[in-house]
Structure 1
Amino acid sequence: MVSVLFPQYLHLVLLGFVHPMAEKRDPMSTPVVSVLVPVYNVERYLEECLESLVAQTFQDFEAIIINDGSTDGSRAIIQAFLDRDSRFRAIDKSNSGYGASMNRGLDEARGTYVSILESDDVMVPEGLQVLVDAACVTDAQVVKGDFEYYWSSPERHERAAIVESDWPEGVHNARELTQLFALPASIWSGLYLRDFLRKERIRFLETPGASYQDTSFAYKVWACAERVAFVDHVIIRYRQDNENSSVKSPEKVFCVCDEHDEVTRFLDEDPGRFEDVRGAVAYAKFLNYLWNYDRLAPEVRGEYRNRIADELHRDWVEGRIDFSCFAPWAQADFLELTKSPDDYDARRSANFQGKGAAAILSRYLRVGGPRLLGKALRERFSEGF
């Protein structure tokens, strides 16, 4: 993986450097950044979230808080920030889901750049400064930072490390970095040029609720961005205390499938342009489906497994699957799942953990024949068998 890092520039932030753009302007002038904050019944965490915006070392932003019909005390908390800080403004709407809220925020945004802050997360004080500084230096359409998993009680932090300090510098075309599609979506640890989003018609899928709607947005960004920069710096503390319904709620199980359908629709609008990323997108989709499969409650797993097996088989028949992008274990899982979903659980690759190489290679031969076995052997020899 390659990226852009700015250690020689970021030290200025740590020393208290304030970018010239950060000087306060008239509230009616165009801000540098529009920060979108979608809110729905999150009173427990909202104040800490919004306080982290007030504490930003970069000052020239507007905070657009989209209240998606909250019925708890969230609106009163929002009002308190509106009363104290002219950079904050609110959009009150009836409940229609995360995607609709985010699209409304994009429509209302006035900034040169757009940033996203989930209402139960926290932005580190220098977060916007780091992102804007990188964007100014590189003229990037997208700047991506790192994040950390955050538990507040008891307090614990664990860096996600999707951006690593040994990546070489440079501005890159995202379509040449197909590994990006396999990264966590984490759209809230980035900065996006608003004109880029508008010209590419990158918007959110407006499905009910608030599950997985960052997926298609992230894939569209990576499919279109020709100038991407990365910063080796934590931008967001991604709260883990508030995990809930997307794992166990049956009505949300298939939202991830809807997101990938939206990605397919987007790519199919200009097939020639996106041909070089289709294999990577299909592989990332498969990994995403498996990750969600393992998270699901047992009572909903069976129906989900059957649906994704049918969908992936259709992708295979239609020529969307490029096994050259797949690791051997993933290709074996794909073949098992699509050929015999009812037996898939018993033959899940996890069953082979701790077994010897001979047992694993025998499985590859049984599932994928000599071609898959040869692929696995080549990989093992290249890594040092």
Structure 2
Amino acid sequence: MEQAGQRAPTGRIEPLVSVVIATHNRPAVLRQTLKSLIGQTLQDWEAIVVGDASRPDTPAIVAAFDDCRISYIDLPVNFGEQSGPNNIGFARARGRFVAILNHDDLWFSRPSGVDERLDRRHRCRCGDRPRRGHRVGREQGFQAYDPWDGAGRLL
């Protein structure tokens, strides 16, 4: 498996996995979702919680975790569906892999959890190690991706 926290050209430590969580006014279930993420055996992640014009209690739930790996963005206008907030989260993702975790879903730590999925991702169907821009398949919920800016330039 990759070394945890690879240094980016900017000097920042990049997480292995960026977890995008779109939410809208469900702070109680969001709390449980974040607890399930924190409970994973793999700890090399960042969570990007994107509120879809949420009430003030939603950012309070995120802040209560006091975990620098969890960031919160609140959109000023409600998209009304998850694609908008997910795309905002993807644009801010820094990890080598991106995963979507819905705000009302849980990840359990067990052999089929996040760390095993990533172990499988390190060998793709052709036997090569995944690399930037190399599709590794999505059946396990993760895929390598190329980060692009709004003008279509590779970051």
TM-score by length of 2: 0.75
What is aligned with 2:55? 71
Structure 1: which 5+ residue stretches go unaligned? 1-18, 146-189, 199-385
Deviations 1:264-294 (A, max 9, x none): xxxxxxxxxxxxxxxxxxxxxxxxxxxxxxx
Looking at structure 2, the residues matched to 52 and 135 of structure 1 have their Cα atoms a distance apart, in angstroms, of: 21
Looking at structure 2, the residues matched to 142 and 61 of structure 1 have their Cα atoms a distance apart, in angstroms, of: 20
- The code of the aligned residue for 1:133 comes to D
Give the Å deviation of 1:86: 1.4
Decide whether aligned partners of structure 1 residues 72 and 86 sit closer, same or farther in structure 2, where only a CA change above 3 A counts.
Answer: closer
What is aligned with 1:130? 116
- The code of the aligned residue for 1:96 comes to F
Of 57, 63, 79, 1:96 maps to 79
Give the Å deviation of 1:141: 2.2
Looking at structure 2, the residues matched to 28 and 92 of structure 1 have their Cα atoms a distance apart, in angstroms, of: 24
- The code of the aligned residue for 1:99 comes to S
Looking at structure 1, the residues matched to 18 and 39 of structure 2 have their Cα atoms a distance apart, in angstroms, of: 16
- 3-state SS of paired residue (1:124): coil
1:178-193 maps to which residues of 2 (within 5 A)? 190-193=141-144
Looking at structure 2, the residues matched to 142 and 60 of structure 1 have their Cα atoms a distance apart, in angstroms, of: 21
The runs of 4+ residues in structure 1 deviating greater than 6 Å are none
Asked if residue 87 in structure 1 is aligned to residue 87 in structure 2, the reply is: no
Of 28, 33, 58, 2:42 maps to 58
Which structure: greater helix fraction? 1
Looking at structure 1, the residues matched to 12 and 64 of structure 2 have their Cα atoms a distance apart, in angstroms, of: 20
What is aligned with 1:32? 16
1:158-173 maps to which residues of 2 (within 5 A)? none
Of 131, 136, 139, 1:144 maps to 139
Decide whether aligned partners of structure 1 residues 107 and 42 sit closer, same or farther in structure 2, where only a CA change above 3 A counts.
Answer: same
- 3-state SS of paired residue (1:102): helix
**C-alpha contact 2:18 2:48 (8 A) present in aligned 1:** yes
- The code of the aligned residue for 2:73 comes to I
Give the Å deviation of 1:47: 0.9
Q: Which has the larger radius of gyration?
A: 1
**C-alpha contact 1:36 1:65 (8 A) present in aligned 2:** yes
Looking at structure 1, the residues matched to 46 and 12 of structure 2 have their Cα atoms a distance apart, in angstroms, of: 10
What is the CA RMSD across the aligned residues, in angstroms? 2.3
> Could you tell me the percent identity over the aligned residues?
33
- 3-state SS of paired residue (1:38): strand
Asked if residue 107 in structure 1 is aligned to residue 58 in structure 2, the reply is: no
**C-alpha contact 2:5 2:14 (8 A) present in aligned 1:** no
**C-alpha contact 2:54 2:74 (8 A) present in aligned 1:** no
Give the Å deviation of 1:143: 3.8
1:161-310 maps to which residues of 2 (within 5 A)? 190-195=141-146
**C-alpha contact 1:30 1:110 (8 A) present in aligned 2:** yes
TM-score by length of 1: 0.32
Looking at structure 2, the residues matched to 53 and 76 of structure 1 have their Cα atoms a distance apart, in angstroms, of: 18
Matched residue pairs, number?
A: 132
Higher RCO structure (Cα 8 Å, ≥6 apart): 2
- 3-state SS of paired residue (1:96): coil
- 3-state SS of paired residue (1:70): coil
Decide whether aligned partners of structure 1 residues 119 and 88 sit closer, same or farther in structure 2, where only a CA change above 3 A counts.
Answer: same
Looking at structure 2, the residues matched to 108 and 79 of structure 1 have their Cα atoms a distance apart, in angstroms, of: 19
Give the Å deviation of 1:193: 1.3
Looking at structure 2, the residues matched to 142 and 92 of structure 1 have their Cα atoms a distance apart, in angstroms, of: 31
What is aligned with 2:153? none
- 3-state SS of paired residue (2:122): helix
